[in-house]
Amino acid sequence: MANTQMARAKRGEISEEMRVVAEKERLNSEKIRLKLAKGQIVIPANHGHKSLSPEGIGTGLRTKINVNLGISGDCANTEAELDKVRKALAMKAEAVMDLSNYGKTAIFRQKLIELSPALIGTVPMYDAIGYLDKKLEDIRPEEFLAVVEKHARDGVDFVTIHAGLNRQTVEHFKRASRVTQIVSRGGSLLYAWMEMNRAENPFYEYFDRLLDICAEYDVTLSLGDACRPGSLADATDASQLEELIVLGELTERAWQRDVQVMIEGPGHVPINEITANVQLEKKLCHGAPFYVLGPLVTDVAPGYDHITSAIGGALAGAAGADFLCYVTPAEHLRLPSLEDMKEGIIAAKIAAHAADVAKGIPGAAEWDRKMSQARQALAWEQMFELAIDREKAERYRKESMPTHSDSCTMCGEMCSMRLMNRMEDKAQTRASTK
């Protein structure tokens, strides 16, 4: 008998993880259980991740954010990446994805899992060549699955697997005319392996074995979009949609085995197509949680892609996307620095919160109301306390102090809040003397 969160939900059990999520979301535990049983919510919680503080992702819950980091060949500094982890945790990111593809990835991954109360995700395909010490074309299907099992055994909560890129999808892709072809790193590696070996995608062909691994450790399957658009020109094209149909079929197979599933979504989408993309995923993948990279709403802003992605993320979240992968200013340019990562997290958190206000998530609009009340009262300390980024707000205030402490240097004595407060005080004084 499976002991996954989904299996327990289907049996009518309310796990400790479901209780924690219900408390965080201000919802009834039974409501969480029912949606989890239907696949509309996931609680990624590997049995081996002992430091985890559970989070729910899906319909009716707060929009969560994910932070990507990891070791690469050009920037193989483990301590620098661990500093990023600590910063991401301090900034309350709900998930961290380890995308390491160089060196002793298992050591870094294990340190990350021990350290992190946030959800941990990985893309085992990135790790396959280094872990197995083989050329890509020489890796056997069972070895790909062995790498997934290694990650599951280490304690990761969710894994991105590009199982929807099958031979039929590949043949369709070859006939298409794409500007940016396959931009998914994991997808391109699988595509190359399939072409060099003239074989089916091992994760598609041996999907049942993949489900065995996920069920044993309760690893949530994040079905990756190998054919996601890497440019506005490729958005919502036939290759993307054909793969999405396959992912919907795989979702139902996973649910039959009580394996939790979320679907990964597009990276570059024009504003006018974002809502349609979310609706298509929810329809074709039967309401499974949707995890989007941005999406970026224009291709021409390198150095500012945290902004282009926040615009897309807010719109996608408002339309029903459940999980936003942050994008940093360094996207398309370099491995992000600690400061890049911070800016990416803030941008993603703004997008997620804006989406939550639009979706009517409990407590979302209340936060904004409290900030507005603090602004009207010119209660600076309360404003700092409520700010998404207290550090920056406080620094700006200190760098430019006004003559009158109950205003700022933008308006000074002409501050509208200050004036209206004084008018109200005078009105109350007159009323009390009558």
Which residues does the annotation place in the binding site for substrate? 68, 97, 126, 162, 184-186, 225-228, 264, 291
Distance of CA 110 to the CA centre of its chain: 21
- Please give the span between the terminal C-alpha atoms of the chain, in angstroms, as a whole number: 77
Q: What gap in Å lies between CA 256 and CA 252, rounded to an integer?
A: 6
Q: Is 142 exposed, middle or buried (0-12, 13-18, 19+ CB in 10 A)?
A: exposed
Token pair, residue 279, equals: 């609706």
User: Which regions of 265-350 does DSSP assign to beta strands (E)?
Assistant: 290-293, 323-325
Residues 35 and 46: beta-carbon distance below 8 Å: no
Phi, psi of 121 (to 5 degrees): -120, 160
β-strand 290-293 against 64-69: which pairing, if any?
Answer: unpaired
Residues 300 and 343: beta-carbon distance below 8 Å: no
Q: What gap in Å lies between CA 148 and CA 79, rounded to an integer?
A: 25
How crowded is the C-beta side of 123, counted as CA atoms within 13 Å? 26
Token pair, residue 431, equals: 């009323």
Nearest-CA neighbor of 57 among 287, 342, 293? 287
Q: State the binding site for Zn(2+).
A: 268, 332
Q: Tokens 């990562």 map to which residue?
A: 341
Q: State the binding site.
A: 68, 97, 126, 162, 184-186, 225-228, 264, 268, 291, 332, 408, 411, 415
User: Which regions of 14-132 does DSSP assign to beta strands (E)?
Assistant: 41-42, 57-58, 64-69, 95-98, 119-122
Q: State the binding site for [4Fe-4S] cluster.
A: 408, 411, 415
How crowded is the C-beta side of 3, counted as CA atoms within 13 Å? 4
| Axis-axis angle for helices 78-90, 105-115 (nearest 10) | 20
